[in-house]
Amino acid sequence: MALMACALAACQPPADKGAANEADNAANRMAANESDNAVEPQRSILRPEVIDQPEAPKIEPVDMVIGFGQSAMALDDGAKTALDTLLATPALKGGGAITLHGHSDSRGSDGDNKVASRIRAEKVRDYLVEKGVAKDRITLVALGEARPIAPNAKEDGSDDPEGRAKNRRVEVHVALPTIVVPPPVEPKPAEKP
């Protein structure tokens, strides 16, 4: 626009120096107006008080595995970093229900492995609660050694420490937030005068 105003002003010889200055001033005012409009947020034509808002991020359920490979019963720095990432997700911030499935390797008895898997799930829960997540949003499920993701032993029957380490884990699932819609309100019958 400013360029067009300048071009138009250049095509017509000014009658005097005052008219030339006025054309320059008009061009400068148009350029300033364009820059002001570029900064102004978009407003509705019909309702100027409504400002276009950016679309809210889409909320997706979250699934994450927290490993206990290095420290069988404590959260290491990698696990804490993963949980901090989880805390920043829209599903967790939005209030979705959290399910923690604790797992163990196959070393020891079934009962001991269920207890160990529950302790791992409790460690994850306690960390989340410490960071401000409501405890009543969290459900613990202790599965013990029932669902391995890696072999606990090699093909020759010897111990597989890497496989066992992968099985010591907590699987975290954060569901979509529940939206509660109140029931409709029945209108009261009109009273007769």
Domain boundaries, the chain: 2-39, 62-174
CA–CA gap between residue 60 and residue 28 (Å, rounded): 50
CA–CA gap between residue 122 and residue 130 (Å, rounded): 12
1 pLDDT band, cuts 50/70/90, is very low
Whole-angstrom Cα Rg for the chain: 33
At 187 the pLDDT is 76
Q: In one letter, which amino acid is 105?
A: D
85 pLDDT band, cuts 50/70/90, is very high
Is the pLDDT at 19 greater than 90, yes or no?
A: no
Summarize pLDDT for 94-139 with one digit per residue, the tens.
Answer: 899 999 999 999 888 999 999 999 999 999 999 999 999 999 999 9
Q: What is the mean pLDDT of the chain?
A: 80
CA–CA gap between residue 73 and residue 64 (Å, rounded): 18
At 5 the pLDDT is 47
State the CATH architecture for 62-174.
Answer: 2-Layer Sandwich (3.30)
Is the CB of residue 121 less than 8 Å from the CB of residue 173?
Answer: no
57 pLDDT band, cuts 50/70/90, is low
